[in-house]
Amino acid sequence: MVDHVAARDHVLRQSPSQGALPRHATAGRDGSATPTARIGAVQYLNTKPLVHRLGGPGIAVEYDLPSRLADSLAAGRLDVALIPSIEFFRGHAYRLVSDACIGCRGPVMSVKLFFRTRPDRVEHLAVDEGSRTSVALARLLLAERCGVAPRVEVLPLGDDISDTAADAVLLIGDRAIGSPRGAFQLVWDLGDEWCRWTGLPFVFAVWAARRDVPEATLRHLEPLLAAARDSGKANLASIAAAEAKGHGLTVPQCLSYLRDNLHYDLGLREKAALALFHDRASALSLAPRGIDLAKALALPGAPMAE
């Protein structure tokens, strides 16, 4: 999800304020330098409601691709990042920071699997470059429902679906929302397929932190991330008006996508969905086993038994 929206060729970066302070510090009331929380976010259409007016003292927000954010978080270059849910499982000792997320409760519209043959005959799968959660979800559904484990190739961002002869092609973002050229026997909206199969929502991306980030920092960030999400949800119409043209959508189409296809709140059912996704993904070696999800999904301030 997060890994499933367009405008990937425009990677925007917002740097901390310039001055004599260290790069990752901000001035305290007494003039001393205090640590600045480094947040990694995404400037894709589906994440716009989560980063609406995100900012404030003690925060440095950097925008990059979801896969790069996951790598930067793992490397310690970021304290908190909006990362694909599959990376939340793969990371070392990550924990949840916010109840804001990118999810769906039915058709997501921007993550689709196009079949040139019957799903149970797929031997060769091409996947959109940069997609991680969606790739894991596609492989999981093909294995669990159709009993196939196709070999996987990457479809570069600049390539068209006609540039691969794969039996099935996973597209995300604008390329999925539109109608690609070619003859296809079947199209799966992966959000809808998961929801129908499990009876649960699907979560594409979450705000995650490394466990070495101080609890006080996370408690400071949690309400800010929630406020940004709430502001975005309250301003979906204005976001759609500003973003539609750049994504090849009409304003009503864009608003419908943001309002009707996406879900931004991580509740009990979403946590249950994450647990099931991890269970099925780890059984297929798409994610590591042995993760204490109850601990990982505890929000800042909640008890975290060792």
Q: What is the pLDDT of residues 249-274, one digit of tens each?
A: 999 999 999 999 999 999 999 999 99
| pLDDT-derived band at 293, boundaries 50, 70, 90 | confident
Question: Residues of the chain with pLDDT > 70: what percent?
Answer: 86
User: For the residues 55-61, what does the mean pLDDT come to?
Assistant: 86
Q: Backbone dihedral region of 141: left (phi > 0), alpha (psi from -120 to 50 degrees) or beta?
A: alpha
Q: Is residue 218 domain-resident?
A: yes
| pLDDT-derived band at 105, boundaries 50, 70, 90 | very high
Q: How many residues does the chain have?
A: 306
Q: What is the predicted pLDDT for the residue at 30?
A: 40
| pLDDT-derived band at 300, boundaries 50, 70, 90 | confident
Q: The domain containing residue 132 runs over which residues? A: 111-198
Q: What is the predicted pLDDT for the residue at 92?
A: 65
Q: Are residues 116 and 243 in the same domain?
A: no
Q: Are residues 209 and 232 in the same domain?
A: yes
Q: What is the predicted pLDDT for the residue at 107?
A: 97
Point out the domain boundary residue: 145, 167, 198: 198
Please state the pTM of the whole predicted model.
0.86
Out of 9-13, 199-203, 245-249, pick the least confident: 9-13
Query: Is the pLDDT reported for residue 101 higher than 90?
Result: yes
Query: Is the pLDDT reported for residue 231 higher than 80?
Result: yes
Point out the domain boundary residue: 167, 198, 229: 198
Of 136-150, 155-169, 208-222, where does the model show the most confidence?
136-150
Q: What is the predicted pLDDT for the residue at 109?
A: 94
Q: Are residues 193 and 233 in the same domain?
A: no
Q: What does the buried/exposed string (b/e) look like for 13-31 if buried means 16 or more CB atoms within 10 Å of the residue's CB? A: eeebeeeeeeeebbeeeee
Q: Are residues 158 and 225 in the same domain?
A: no
Q: What is the predicted pLDDT for the residue at 16?
A: 33
Q: What is the predicted pLDDT for the residue at 302?
A: 63
Point out the domain boundary residue: 170, 198, 226: 198
- Consecutive H or E run containing 233: helix 215-234
Average pLDDT, the chain: 85
Query: Is the pLDDT reported for residue 34 higher than 60?
Result: no
Q: Are residues 88 and 229 in the same domain?
A: yes
**Residue with tokens 């990982």, as numbered in its chain:** 296
**Residue with tokens 């070696």, as numbered in its chain:** 285
Q: What is the predicted pLDDT for the residue at 6?
A: 38
Query: Is the pLDDT reported for residue 133 higher than 80?
Result: yes
Query: Is the pLDDT reported for residue 128 higher than 90?
Result: no
The β-bridge partners of 112 are 171, 189
User: For the residues 147-166, what does the mean pLDDT come to?
Assistant: 92
